Structure formats: structure tokens, C-alpha cells
Amino acid sequence: MTSAARRPAADAPDPGLPSAAAGPPSLASALVPPAARAGGADGDAGAQKASLATQAATGAERAAAVETADRDRPAISRIRPGRPLAIAAAALVVAMVVGVLVGPAGLPAATVGQALLARMPWHPALSVPAIDVAIVWQIRLPRVILGALVGAMLAGGGAAYQGVVRTPLADPYLLGVAAGAGLVATLNIVSGASSGLLPATAFAGAAIAVTVTYVLGTSAGRDIGSPGIGGTAASIVLAGVAIAALFTAVQEYLQQQSSQQLQQIYAWILGELSQASWSDVVLIVPYTAISAALLIAHRRLLDVLQVGEAEASSLGVNVARLRLTVVAAATLGTAAAVAVSGLIGFVGIIVPHTVRLTAGASYRIVLPVSMVGGAAFLVLADIAARTVQAPAEVPLTVITATIGAPFFLFVLRSRRTRSDLS
């Protein structure tokens, strides 16, 4: 045999070793059955057929392909959504029960139960003092329900932003939600406008800030023309940082010029649920329902987006439309939450990362479990806020930051986060 005849065999890569130039495996290669990847010409032909079939798949087929790829991941990532969701739901039920039972008034559990039954239709004849019924139904119950709604939106928004911008340290305030809401709420307070307009103005400020951030970020991403994965997402993050800095500077100037309203401004900025009422619950329920429905509906496409914008586009995903829809839905829910609770930080980081560490990184698990877990977390945080220094209250942001800051540092030092940021 001649040396020319031997050269192809010598240059052929070892079928048992990955090629150094191949780069990270694509989603299409991850979807190829093990038998087709075994090696040789048959394996190459099977990979090509699987790749072509994947690129021509419909939306339903793409979702099934993502589930197939997910089954090849480590066992912690293959936990069925039902189990962590059931655990989070049980935690929420416990948190809400404790939230209704615990308070500075010190009502016995039996009295709280009778007060709850007193407003139910066809309740048994009960002799419950009217003041106890008012405490349970007009103070504690709306506060617990509002805290659950706010926590669900902040945690769900954090998970959604992290999926869209592919930045593990993103939270609902990354795109300027807090800065926009804080600035417009400060304007409302210093101008002497009605306090009843505060939720509406805060909502408008948050929506305006995110809209400006998104428009500037996407236009900058197109102008740069970065072909790499996440070019537009990085531009959105940078635009959010700039908009937040600008709005915060204007807000601090207004605070300095209006020292007589400073206490009211800070009370709103530090976040609280002490003024929660049924009208607040009714106000944000439609927004939270729409936001949650849209985010849950796009959770599988967020999984596809994690392999990269180029590959997601090759699989038929409209990346620009997906990003716009998810950002709009997350902003809608977050702005509604901020409008009634003020600025509450770290919920969008603590809860989604806890879910990822315990239940896996697939967004079909992360999004729904984060919403339910976020609701439970904020209800428990509010219980601590109103009992640590009872009858006085600690601002909610103090509680969440005390828990969130160490957790943030832990996430920042984790191997997965360092690899995502590199």
C-alpha cells in the first residue's frame, strides 16, 4: 500500500474523540439519536438527515425536539415539572396560611378561622367580633394575596429577562423598570398629585423606561451588526444600564429639591405592602394574568433560544418577535407589581436561581416554578417585615436584600455563572 493510500486513514480523526475545531455541540447534533452518532458513514448520514429534519420542523416538532435534548442532560435537569411545581405550590399554601394567622394583633388561630368563615356564603352561625373580621378580611388577606401576586411577577419577570438577554444576573430592574417607576412616582409625590394616582404613574414610568431601553438596545444591536450570539441582547442590557442611571440621577435631584416629601418618597422606594387593599388586588390581577399566560406560553421557545440566536433562527424561531413578546410580557407584570408595592429588589434573582439549582435549567420548569415560588417567598418575606419589629414594620427591600445580597454573591461565584459571563 502506497503512502498516498495510507494518508486518509492517518488523517482521519479518532471516532471516539471530539474534534477540537468542532466547537460546542449544536442543538441539532444534540437531537441526533445515539445510534446515528456511533461513527462511520452511517452515523454521518444519520446526523445530516436529523439536522435537515430538525431545520424543517414545525413549532410543535421543535418543542418535542427540545424535550428530547433535555432527556440527554444530567438527572437534575430531567426532573419532571410536576414535582417542583407541587413543592412550590405547597410552600405557597403554607406561606399564605401563616400570613393570615400571624400579625401584630395576635389573634388566635381559632378566631382567624372563624373570621374567615364569617364572610363565606352559607357559613354556620358564628359569633365573631367585627374588629377581628375586619383585621382578617380587610388587612391580612388582601395583603397576603397582593404579596403573592407581586412575588410571582417579580420572580417570573426575572426568569424571563434572564432567558431573553441570556445573562444569569439579570432581574426585573435590569432594563430600567425600577428607575422609570421611581422617577415618575417621585414626580407624582413632589407635585402634590393625588396619592391614588401613584400606582398608575409608577406603572407608566416603568413601561416608558423599558420601551426606551428596548428601542435603543435593538437599534444599537442592528447598527453594530454583531454576528455573534447575543449581540442584540447585550445592547439591550447596556441600554438598560444607561437609562437606569439617567432616570435615577433625575430622581435623586428631585428628592434633594423636595426634602419635605422625602420620607414619603423613601417609603415607596423601599417597598411595602402595609397599605394593601382589595382595590390593589383587583387593579393588578388582569395584568398579572396576561403576563403569566404569555410567559408560560413561550417557555419552550426560551429553551431553544439558549443554544444561540443563530441556531434558534435556523430552527425557525423568530428571535426578534420572541424577545419582544417576552420582554413586553415580563415588563407588563413587573410594572403592575411595582405600581402597588414600590421597589422590591433581589426577588428576580433569588427565586429563579434557586429553581435552577434544585430543579434544572429548562424554562418549562424554571418559569412556572419561579412564579409560584416567588409568590411564596415574598409572602414569607412580608411576614418577617411586619413581625421582626412589631408593631413597627421593616421595609420589604431590607428583608429581601439581607437574603438576596449573599445569594447574589454565591450565584456570581458559581461555576455556571462564570462560564455564562465569560
Percent of the chain with pLDDT over 70: 74
Inform me whether the pLDDT recorded for 9 exceeds 90: no
pTM summary value = 0.76
**Number of separate helices (H) and strands (E) present in the chain:** 20, 0
How would residue 312 be classed by pLDDT, with cut points 50, 70 and 90? confident
Largest separation between any pair of C-alpha atoms in the chain: 104
Mean pLDDT, residues 392-401 taken together: 89
* Cα 75–Cα 301–Cα 336 angle in degrees, nearest 5: 105
Write the pLDDT tens digit of every residue in 365-381. Answer: 999 999 999 999 999 99
CATH class of 80-134+141-421: mainly alpha
Q: Evaluate whether 338 touches 206 at the Cβ level (below 8 Å).
A: yes
User: Residue 152 has which C-alpha cell?
Assistant: 410571582
C-alpha span between 416 and 419 (Å, rounded): 5
How would residue 317 be classed by pLDDT, with cut points 50, 70 and 90? confident
Inform me whether the pLDDT recorded for 111 exceeds 50: yes
Q: Evaluate whether 72 touches 25 at the Cβ level (below 8 Å).
A: no
pLDDT attached to residue 61: 53
Q: Evaluate whether 181 touches 154 at the Cβ level (below 8 Å).
A: no
pLDDT attached to residue 292: 95
Domains of the chain, by residue range, sit at: 80-134+141-421
7-11, 108-112, 369-373: which is most confident: 369-373
Give DSSP secondary structure letters for 373-421.
HHHHHHHHHHHHHHHTTTTS---HHHHHHHHHHHHHHHHHHSHHHHHHH
pLDDT attached to residue 58: 47
pLDDT attached to residue 151: 95
Inform me whether the pLDDT recorded for 14 exceeds 60: no
pLDDT attached to residue 214: 83
Which strand (E) or helix (H) includes residue 134?
helix 130-134
